[in-house]
Amino acid sequence: MTNVLVLVGSVRTGSVNQKLAQVAVDGAPEGVSVQIYPGLELLPHFNQDLEEPPLPEEVARFKEAVGAADALLLVTPAYNGAPSAVLKNGIDWASRPYGSGPIANKPVAVIGAANNPQGGPQSIGFASAASTIAGGKVLEETVFAAIRDLPDGEPSKDPQVVDGVKAVLAALASAAQV
């Protein structure tokens, strides 16, 4: 069983990115378990002073969950063309200590939804670059959903988006087996 942990950069109830993450949970291929990390917004802002033992409880819980996953799926909104601070903060904590943090050498895929058809892909690229620098092995497979093009704002109602998410999950599972 391949375990994929989903980090969602939008914490707003009912956000399209939350719904996109649920598409991943619902569309997981056989042999793949997909779980959304609860409480990403509870992580304190990254601060090297907080790395001194003992780690804050929420940071320890987060790093344990990332470390236990076989792969990560990042779901990012576009806030002025960049991922949310919540998601970037998660990437930063997962990178520590640099070179041996729980994201190191882990397959990572980045997908997202946004209103701005230019800002969304920029946000995905930014999150991908940050994850690569953090030590993750970012896959080329991605999905971008332009919110205005989704039927009723629902990613689950767009077959192309659903199929794309399934393809990303299959690629993550394959990369985790290597």
Asked if residue 74 is part of any domain, the answer here is yes
Q: For residue 14, is it within any domain?
A: no
- pLDDT value, residue 19: 98
Joined tokens for residue 42: 């509870």
Distance CA 85, CA 51 (A): 19
Q: What is the mean pLDDT of residues 36-64?
A: 97
* Inside any domain, residue 86: yes
Cis peptide before 54 (omega within 30 of 0): yes
pLDDT value, residue 122: 96
Does residue 50 belong to any structural domain of this protein?
no
- Cα–Cα distance between 27 and 41 in angstroms, integer? 25
Please report, rounded to a whole number, the percentage of residues in the chain having pLDDT higher than 90: 96
Q: What is the pLDDT of residue 117?
A: 87
CATH number at residue 118: 3.40.50.360
Can you read off the two tokens belonging to residue 91?
Answer: 């990437």
SS3 assignment, position 55: coil
What mean pLDDT is predicted for residues 21-48? Answer: 97
pLDDT tens, residue by residue, 104-162: 999 999 999 999 988 899 999 999 999 999 999 999 999 999 999 999 999 999 999 99
Question: How many Å apart are CA 100 and CA 81, to the nearest integer?
Answer: 29
Task: Tell me, yes or no, whether 7 lies in a domain.
Answer: no
Q: Total domain count for the chain? A: 1
Domain containing 76 equals: 22-39+57-177
Of 178, 170, 177, 155, nearest to 28 by C-alpha is 170
Residue 87 has pLDDT above 80, yes or no: yes
